[in-house]
Amino acid sequence: MPPRVAGATTAVRTPRAVACRDGDVMNERIEVVPRHGDDPPRAQDACRVGIMRRITAARLRYCGLETMVDEVLVIVSELVTNAVLHSGTAEIGLKVALQEGLLRIEVRDGMEGSAKPKHPDHSAESGRGLVLVQGLVEENGGAWGVSDDGTTVWCDLPATGEGQ
């Protein structure tokens, strides 16, 4: 290999996106320490939200769905953060799948309950995540909800990109 020259550039071939068929785009689980009371989550648990975002972005790009990355990452971030902060669980699952032209995002915490958008006052430091998710989903022609048993929050978005 020749020596590197300062200021020289190196061409790198990136893999071409693969058109993904119906089925899982990703299915990941993270372990967290259950929170109690108003204590903040452990730093390593909070960092797992960013890790899930990065994995999601990579998988969407791999499947040719890069046009959906921005919206999906906001949704993933808000739903996984809600599970870390409010569920009291030790394991959170994130599943993203293509189903008949829809991209389904599911965050499962295994704890019964119902995620509902709040409308906090202007000075509140949190509580706007599900309102943001609801707005993004509706703006993109999708739907969202909570499973009958309350353990999973899901969103369906029309799939767009080369993968479709």
What is the mean predicted confidence (pLDDT) over 6-34?
Answer: 72
pLDDT at 123 over 80: no
What confidence tier does 71 reach under pLDDT thresholds 50, 70, 90? very high
CA distances to 53, 57, 108, 115 from 50, in Å:
5, 11, 17, 21
- Global pTM value: 0.81
pLDDT at 144 over 90: yes
Q: Kindly report, residue by residue over 73-100, the tens digit of the pLDDT.
A: 999 999 999 888 888 888 999 999 998 9
**What was the pLDDT predicted at 55?**
95
What is the mean predicted confidence (pLDDT) over 50-54?
Answer: 94
pLDDT at 13 over 60: no
Between CA 93 and CA 29 the distance in angstroms is 4
Contact 2, 146 (CB under 8 A): no
**What was the pLDDT predicted at 16?**
58
Structure-block tokens of residue 134: 């609801």
38-73 in b/e form (b: 16+ CB < 10 A) is eeebeeebeebbeebbeebbebbbbbbbbebbebbb
Between CA 56 and CA 106 the distance in angstroms is 12
pLDDT at 15 over 60: no
